Every structure is written in structure tokens, then in C-alpha cells.
Amino acid sequence: MNGHGRGGGLVIAIDGPSGSGKSSTAKGVARARELSYLDTGAMYRAITWWMLDNGIDVADAAAVAEAAARPVITVGTDPSAPTIEVDGADVAGAIRADGVTGSVSAVSAVPEVRELLVARQREIIAEACATTAGIVVEGRDITTVVAPDAPVKLFLTASAEARAQRRSREVRSSDVAATQEALARRDRLDSSRSVSPLTRTDDATELDTTGLSLDEVVALVVKLADEAQAQAV
Ligand SMILES: Nc1ncnc2c1ncn2[C@@H]1O[C@H](COP(=O)(O)OP(=O)(O)O)[C@@H](O)[C@H]1O
Ligand SMILES: Nc1ccn([C@H]2C[C@H](O)[C@@H](COP(=O)(O)OP(=O)(O)O)O2)c(=O)n1
């Protein structure tokens, strides 16, 4: 199912910390090569939004685990119009709220949550490989757990300053220092949890995007994807 999956689809797996450029790069590459696109972070955000909306204490791992299967999360994989719904309601805006951002690392550290979402992500990848040219998948454990056999595996990085600048610009905040501190806290939690922590494996290509424009990063990844496809035929 991974790699050049059933149906011949190409899987491009991208991991990296917040603000390294995963979402924008993944969308750009998917659009350039008519691939599907999956933002797995949006799925962790959606389940976190549902927990908060339903009054579940996100610091209580047992309560989160017990409720994890209740929300129905639906993802649309068109890179030009990705969608995310919980129980049929559009939550694309709600999942970016500060409350969700502050709680998502705790919820995504719960093994039962990961088990459910990873299974769903693999179904989405298989479906995309069967029906489209393939899929670009981005998150924290795509190269290590979700699609370790993907023929293109990337680990995006950028300096802490560049990532904070980018995020601040995006949310129109002038407090870059506070943004940098919030990113550092989330990086710490996401990289130190016991299940599927953010890690770079030796077979993933590390790409430091600090001094590169988004167009340059997209072009580099498209080149890697084209090389992988040429090798597969
Ligand atoms: N290479 C780059 N140069 C400058 N800005 C970038 C670059 N890549 C992404 N960005 C911008 O940085 C912000 C965060 O990027 P995003 O793709 O959401 O990162 P991630 O998914 O890793 O959190 C976005 O506003 C995006 O437009
Ligand atoms: N594959 C993934 C994707 C995201 N997560 C968790 C950890 C992240 O802090 C949150 C949110 O991910 P998201 O990609 O939306 O984060 P940013 O776009 O970097 O702000 O979800 C995860 O544990 N595993």
C-alpha cells in the first residue's frame, strides 16, 4: 500500500516541525503533479477541537482515549481546496484557534488517538493511490510510521527564527518572540512523546528551507518526485 501503492500511485512523505513549510510545499507539489494532498496535522487538530467542544479534559489521557472513536473525521484531499469536517461540520477555521493549537500536542500523544488516525490516514493513502496519480502526505510521523516505504521521504527544517517569522506573518502577529516560544514548546512536546515522536530517519532527505523561497522548495521536491517516478518505470 505504501510506496508506489496499489494502482501505481506515488506517495511523497513529508515530516518536520511547525513552520518548516510542510503544508505549503506539499500543496504546491501536489498541484504541480496532479497528486492528492493529506494534511495529517489537520486530523489531530480536528479530534482535539472535538474533545474541547465536548468538555473532555485533554490532560486526562484515559478520558481522551475513551472518547477517541466518537468523532467522525472526514478529509478532502484536493490540494487546491482541502477540507476537514467533524461529524459533517466544516471545522477548517475552528481547528486553527489558539485553544486547539495549545492542546493538540497532548491529544496527539495518546496512543489510541494515533492508532485510529494512522489507520484512517493509510486508508486515505490507499484510496488516493487507487484513484489518482498518488498523494503528498505531511505531518510528524509520515516518514517513520504512516508511510515508511514511500519512495520520496523528506524532512523539512528551517531555523527557529525563520519559522517564527513565517508563523507571525501568517497570523498577523507582531509578537515574534511569543510565537517562537509557542513553537518551541510544541516542538519539544511533539519530539519527546513516547509514541511516534517527530524524528528524522537516515533515509529521509533533509531540506533546510531557511534561505529558500517556497517556489524553490517546491521545485526541489518536484525534481525528487520526478526522479522517483522515472526509477519506478
Ligand atoms: N520556503 C519558504 N519561505 C518563506 N515562507 C515560507 C516558506 N515555506 C512556507 N512559508 C510560509 O510559512 C508559513 C508556514 O508554512 P506551512 O507550510 O504552514 O508550514 P508547516 O506546515 O510546516 O507548519 C506559511 O505562511 C507559508 O506561506
Ligand atoms: N502526523 C502528525 C501530524 C500532526 N501531529 C500533531 C503535532 C502537531 O503539533 C499538531 C498540529 O499539526 P500541524 O501540522 O497542524 O501543525 P502546524 O501546521 O505545524 O502548526 O498535530 C502529530 O502528532 N502527528
Check if 141 has its Cβ closer than 6 Å to any atom of ligand 2: yes
Predicted pLDDT of residue 170: 87
pLDDT tens, position by position, 135-190: 999 999 999 999 999 999 999 999 999 999 999 998 887 889 999 999 999 999 99
- Taking the C-alpha atoms of residue 47 and residue 69, their distance in angstroms, rounded to an integer, is 9
Q: Which DSSP category does 96 fall into?
A: G
Q: Judge whether residue 5 has pLDDT over 70.
A: no
Predicted pLDDT of residue 4: 54
Segment 126-133 shows an average pLDDT of 96
CA of 95 to the centre of ligand 2 (A): 11
Q: Judge whether residue 107 has pLDDT over 70.
A: yes
Predicted pLDDT of residue 232: 82
Predicted pLDDT of residue 6: 46
Sort 79 into a burial class: Cβ within 10 Å, 0-12 / 13-18 / 19+: buried
Q: Judge whether residue 2 has pLDDT over 50.
A: no
105 labelled ligand-binding: no
Q: Which of 23, 108, 191 should be mutated for ligand 2, with most atoms under 8 A from CB?
A: 108
Predicted pLDDT of residue 7: 58
Mean pLDDT score of the chain, rounded to an integer? 95
Structural contact between residues 77 and 38, judged by C-beta atoms closer than 8 angstroms: yes
159 labelled ligand-binding: no
- Taking the C-alpha atoms of residue 60 and residue 79, their distance in angstroms, rounded to an integer, is 35
Helix (H) / strand (E) containing 231 = helix 214-232
Predicted pLDDT of residue 187: 94
Residue nearest to atom 8 of ligand 1 (CA): 21
Domains along the sequence of the chain with CATH: 10-227 (3.40.50.300)
